[in-house]
Amino acid sequence: MARLFGTDGVRGLANEVLTAPLALRLGAAAAEVLTSEHRSSKRRPLAVIGRDPRVSGEMLAAALAAGMSSRGVDVLRVGVLPTPAVAYLTEFYGADMGVMISASHNPMPDNGIKFFSKGGHKLPDSIEDQIEKAMESLPETGPTGHGIGRVIEEAVDAQQHYLDHLAESMPRRLDGITVVVDCANGAASTVAPLAYEAAGARVIAVHNEPSAYNINDNCGSTHIDQVRQAVLKHGADLGLAHDGDADRCLAVDAEGAVVDGDQIMAILALAMKENGELRKSTLVATVMSNLGLRLAMDEAGITLRTTKVGDRYVLEDLNAGGYSLGGEQSGHIVMPDYGTTGDGTLTGLALMSRMAETNVSLQSLAGAMTVLPQVLINVPVSDKSVIASHPDVAAALEMAEDELGNSGRVLLRASGTEELFRVMVEAPTEEIARRIAGKLAAVVAHV
């Protein structure tokens, strides 16, 4: 049986793969596993549920709440908020578990369910495995009478608590900075503009009118041209683009050039080292990060550690080593001193704070890192699990690596959330990278 959990929770086409009955059973099993150590006769366990604005989130939130309350857990629904807000509120309310319903950057018809343990931490694989096993042996009946949990609709103060947290995390004022923020018609639509305005920035918000059907629709961090055009139109100092659940942040400078997650990490790492905040002079990134990031960190005397793709693997390494900054090229940036997961709005605040501190443009700050040409091709496949071991793919990979030598690198990996196989090539020129990536992608597509 295929594993239910992927790189970031359970994800799939809502009401076909990710159904209400599945969500109900998943919620009940997660309640059993995640609250078993915290039950007592004095109080019932508490769960926090948040979601992004896509239409299926309403259905799945109801099913999850039913499943958890059927196992004697009180449920506090906090409404539409970013993933990092739900993680923060799980700790703030003293909850035993948290749940975010979102498919992040995926199209509207998809959805996902990700869990947080007590304190707002993402789950390790071992706990996810326990939840899957619990689903198989879950009794049909649960507690009755006073043993049934309550569902509280909705926590009216949740958004303000999260905004207060952001304000306390980044105290530097942003007066004089004009920023365009693309909210992806997602979970950031209200809170991101409010947070940036509260810090003193002049905010021009776009794609901040979610309809339940327009999340990520030609906007947000996966369609960066939208925020680039708005920055140039309004003459802004920078633009920020979030994804559907606002745990990502990408940027563009005043000239419209993209500043990706690697460049943002380089800017923040140098700032934190200068201010004595980069513990052990170490940055944690993933294997997908550009080779230019490593070269820039080497020059600055900063150690770059790499993990598997996925911000939870970055988090695991950050926590294990006691480091203070990590992230992904895609814009997941994690600062453990301020949050337990990637936070796109916090990243935007930190980036603008560095601009305010130095009175230097984003374009100049991003120049600390030279981005080597990198080509990424996502190849749709029928079974991503067999691609890497196929002899044709192995042979094509060996040829590509021989051609590049020490001047670049190749990375092949299966997507953790979709039936895609990713082909990434870095090379001295974009022409070489595209040619080699195209050859590899063609082999993968025909396996």
Tell me: is residue 247 an annotated ligand-binding position.
yes
Buried-state track 288-310, b at ≥16 Cβ within 10 A, e below 16: bbbbbbbebbeebebebbbbebb
3-state secondary structure of 47: strand
Tell me: is residue 260 an annotated ligand-binding position.
no
**Which secondary-structure segment (H or E) carries 162?**
helix 158-169
Tell me: is residue 245 an annotated ligand-binding position.
yes
**Which secondary-structure segment (H or E) carries 68?**
helix 56-69
Q: For residue 139, count other CB atoms closer than 10 A to its CB.
A: 8
Catalytic residue chosen out of the listed positions 69, 70, 102, 104: 104
Residue 221 known to be catalytic: no
Tell me if 271 sits within 8 A of 349, measured CB to CB. Answer: no
DSSP string for 280-317: GGEEEEETTS-HHHHHHHHHHT-EEEEE-SSHHHHHHH
Phi and psi angles of residue 207, each rounded to the nearest 5 degrees, phi first: 50, 50
Q: Which two tokens stand for residue 126?
A: 């071992």
Phi and psi angles of residue 57, each rounded to the nearest 5 degrees, phi first: -65, -35
- What letter does residue 150 receive in the DSSP assignment? P
Could you tell me the CA-to-CA distances from 285 to 64, 310, 359, 439 in Å, in that order? 33, 10, 27, 27
- Binding site listing for Mg(2+): 104, 243, 245, 247
Binding site residues, as ranges?
A: 104, 243, 245, 247
Active site residues: 104
